[in-house]
Copies of this chain bind each other. A is one copy, B any other.
């Protein structure tokens, strides 16, 4: 069969493919990365392209908006080249255009706090050891001689070694005249010698890397394990994004394609290796001196990182392969540090309450504080932990992608051109928006959407049920084919020249997202029979949290109506916890215990959550007594 040539414009890149190849695959082959949040399943509706010429077959069933259809666009994943084709790719369908603003400051934070109560006792350390040389009378074997010295130095009974490190021992001992420097890892009460160098190496360089693997971004810190100082910090995108934006599409990719799991595994390893190279570069440090890696990630990311099949995370009753995963050698994963270095992942609590949450709970001392704390990380999933020193309960609610711009007509991630706040004159309904990067608006991101919803409600554009008040006198409110919509930015002011609007449907999606989070919090409180006001502090983790206006979030009923001073933004607590565990084996031990101690509340079991969810679908809530600070406008 003859090959079909697919020519992509405006790039002018051509690629020959078998007839029947999707335009998405063809674009990948041509090296053009399209946005494909669902991983090519036709559900995200983002890989829009325009066929300019040639023969294609368009399959039904893709999620494409009437607006896009009318504009002559098709989904690249559902369109298949039958012969030679010319395809135009609009800039908004390109992945590079859609990447999240990588706020390294935010991903990485300045410095560790929450390390109170832990002393510097890293998971791996170098130990200078001086042995008595053997004689005919005292002829203990090399390894037993070294073991005895390490045991007494570390007060540790079980000292191990791999065969490949053991093989280096005799020459190292004799080259160093019975003085050696050993790298020793101590995990869960068991010590292992992972490096041996002759002599007392004066610098005793020993580094560790703490990594937070997020679904979207990956952040890492290189730590000097001698003094606990941060040597360098780096963040990057998770390159897995090309297999789908969210964990669900990645699980599907891993489970349903023969090489899917291997692809996702290799991609995150490559993401991390790129980061490692960047971390080591400034000081020209050697990868072999990195002797320990701690990783905090959600349950799915942990599975993919370790190459563990994540299939059943997604299928009821949502069971991970493992909560606490075994330590693994860097060489087994292909991580470019010392091959003998151990890589440890924080334990998960459940399929949707992962090691990142355990890490955050660790570093914020929730389990050591007498105050009842709500720890919450809002993204596609709202993950939360509630408790104090005596008890801990956790839950995850599927908020959907609205807060990340998904399912919203002009929704986008927090990147250049995204509207992040909205101000509306209650009299004239004139609108002032601010955008990230202070440039022309391209769309609206999560924090902008929350602000917009609160403002709409405050000035009376929508009622408590989210319905637009059509009697309002402003040309910005208009009816389209798909119902009522409000123009935030006129085409003359927007980047694309088109009006940026919020539709009634967008508002419905936002209501569902915020109701899910609030209902999750309420369900947890119900489970432990506590009232909302008994929460003594609220810790908001994750990148999204930092852009959130607490007042807005309370106004729309996303967060509980508590005094502002109870709220704290804690940034990337997942990375902070990973760093803490790296420099304190006691903290690592505590993380293991936390993984077992935190009770998981499955919200999809029982009716409680659904009832709470229905009640929370109003602004701010059906039960206004829960929001005493909110004055009810009409």
Contact = CB atoms under 8 A, between A and B. Distances in A.
Given A134-B317, A317-B134, A322 B166 contact: yes
B321 A163 contact: no
B326 A139 contact: no
B324 A144 contact: yes
Contacts of A1: none
B167 A309 contact: yes
Interface in A561-612: 600, 602, 604-605
Contacts of A317: 134-136, 139
A27 interface: no
Interface in A300-354: 306-309, 311-312, 316-326, 328, 332, 348, 350-351
B326 A170 contact: no
Prevailing SS type, chain A contact patch: loop
Q: How large is the interface on A (under 10, 10 to 19, 20 to 34, 35 or more residues)?
A: 35 or more
B142 A322 contact: yes
A169 B321 contact: yes
A141 interface: yes
A137 B306 CA distance: 27
A326 B163 contact: yes
**Copies per complex?**
2
A547 interface: no
A160 B160 CA distance: 15
A141 B326 contact: no
Interface string A141-155: 111100000000000
B166 A308 contact: yes
Most buried by B among A140, A143, A311: A143
A304 to B, nearest CB: 12
A170 B311 contact: yes
Given A139-B350, A332-B163, A144 B323 contact: yes
A153 to B, nearest CB: 19
A139 B169 contact: no
Nearest to A348: B141
B318 A166 contact: no
A32 to B, nearest CB: 34
Given A136-B316, A163-B307, A163-B332, 13 more contacts: A136-B317, A139-B602, A140-B319, A141-B320, A142-B322, A143-B324, A166-B321, A166-B322, A166-B326, A167-B308, A167-B309, A169-B321, A170-B312
